[in-house]
Structure 1
Amino acid sequence: MTSYKELLMQREALEQQINEARRNELANAVSQVRALVAEYGLTARDIFPTSKFLSGGRIPGARASRGTKVAPKYREPATGQTWTGRGKAPKWIQNEDRAKFAI
């Protein structure tokens, strides 16, 4: 039976091997990407088309953060109030045909 200390030493050795393997694979991946970029003359905008990513914003495919502004889809003619169609519907559009309020 292996002792606790021996298992800890094995784990440390495995973690070192894992880190080394990851470094090697990342280096190979970066090398392949650079070769493809050079071969096809790609730019960062070709690979990451969202301008937010290029300006240091979100990562492509990540969820948008809360509070993102959305254009309104509905307007109440009497008051000019608007609603995006997200969240709980305001009272002026509840139980009404939404098509007549569409912007």
Structure 2
Amino acid sequence: MAKTLQTLLKQIAQLQKQADALRSREKTEVVDRIKEAIAHYDITADDLFGASPAKAARKRAAVVKTGGKARKAAAKKPAGVAKYTDGAGRTWSGVGKRPNWFKDALAAGKQAEDLLVKA
């Protein structure tokens, strides 16, 4: 008995329908068992999947672990306000190591007062 391509494709389609129906039934049964276990053990979404990225980020920002003890994280300091500028868009707050453009300007004969930001 020679099978044609058309016959095989019909058989494949029938088997695929049977497989889809079986999968759907099994899926329903699995979901029911999972729901029962969740209710029985009081499982939360965080228990299953961990904290959401946004929630985890907030938690990391709020608590810093040091020596096994948790404490509130220090508030991040705002960026310093520009005190000096070279007029080309480079600025420095006057705090920390002097930038190269500032050192170069002083070496070229300018005074620090010449580089102050004019309000």
For normalisation by structure 1, the TM-score amounts to 0.48
Higher CA-based Rg: 2
TM-score normalised by L of structure 2: 0.42
Higher relative contact order (CA 8 A, sep 6+): 1
Q: Would you tell me which structure has more strand in proportion to its own residues?
A: 2
